[in-house]
Amino acid sequence: MSGVRIIGVGSVNLDLVAACDRLPAPGETVTGARFAKYPGGKGANQALAARRLGAVVSMIARVGKDAHAEAALALLREDGVDLSHLVVDEEAATGVALIAVDAEGENQIVVASGANGKLEPRDVEGVGPADAVLCQLEVPVAAVEAAGRIDTKLFAINLAPALPVPAGLLERADLLIVNEGEAKFYGDALYRGEGMVAKTLGREGAVLYRAGKEVARMPVYAVPVIDTVGAGDTFCGALAVALAEGMEEGAALRFASGAAALAVTKEGAQPSLPWRKDVEAFLQDKA
């Protein structure tokens, strides 16, 4: 266990997953799917990933006062994520994600944000310090801005889903994490600050920039793909842990890429999140 302290500020969802042979075209119905429920939400996934990879993790989030909340929080509780800053909303429902996954592991996701959309700056203020703060954009930008004021060595934002944000927030971040679509959405604005930008490239691996210059690149690891849901969140949590621990940039990118590779080999966002010992064994085998 690394012992670095990470504060996750973000979403908690219950994922309703239908696994099918192929994804439907617009207006089409696909039958014969297998149904399952899993805890999810980018914020919760990344917090749990960091916890399983050795960090001491606190989660700041909102859930509804409903049956979905306990199911959505089950693995966070089980694996020791601190939920003392969790807010239970009396009116809004717990967030839900409707996910279809095909036989190749590709997916379509629709999210009903519910209580996630009501996370407020006051829910975040007064928390800290931490070695790293990790946010996403499934909660209001004002809450992410408040997270940027927490006393931390590493303020990281996964810019997903891609939304307009103040330029100052991008420049304030020590680490921005994007996929190819998000990188295209934000364009050159990603590189105006002095911090790092990590870009995942699907089958082409991942690349890490600092102050606009490439500092590390990793090819993708060849593994059997079962379900890609949660792989990006695993990458985010792993990269935050590695950098908070002081790993060199190339080693941190390798650690995050290895963790993400293991995540696609199992079903479900949170059930697929790997443990530290498994990532280290995987990377040792690939050395």
Q: What is the mean pLDDT of residues 72-92?
A: 96
Mean pLDDT score of the chain: 94
User: Measured between alpha carbons, how far is 30 from 89 in angstroms, rounded to an integer?
Assistant: 35
CA distance readout (Å), 136 to 41, 139, 251: 10, 7, 23
| Pairing mode, strands 56-60 and 196-200 | unpaired
User: Would you place residue 214 in the very low, low, confident or very high pLDDT band (cuts 50, 70, 90)?
Assistant: very high
pLDDT in tens, 17-50: 999 999 999 999 999 999 999 899 999 999 999 9
User: Measured between alpha carbons, how far is 237 from 26 in angstroms, rounded to an integer?
Assistant: 33
Quick one: what percent of the chain has pLDDT higher than 70? 99
- CATH class of the domain defined by 5-13+42-94+116-286: alpha beta
274 forms beta bridges with none
Q: Pick the closest to residue 223 from 263, 256, 267 (CA basis).
A: 263
User: Would you place residue 2 in the very low, low, confident or very high pLDDT band (cuts 50, 70, 90)?
Assistant: low
Please report, as a single letter, which amino acid is at residue 140.
P
Q: Specify the pTM.
A: 0.91
* Per-domain residue ranges of the chain: 5-13+42-94+116-286
pLDDT value for 106: 85
Active-site residue set? 233
Reported as half-sphere exposure (CB side, CA atoms, 13 A), residue 93 has a value of: 9
CB burial of residue 265 (10 Å; 0-12, 13-18, 19+): middle
pLDDT in tens, 149-168: 999 999 999 999 999 999 99
pLDDT in tens, 232-270: 999 999 999 999 999 999 999 999 999 999 999 988 778
* SS3 call for 10: coil
* 108 DSSP 8-state letter: E
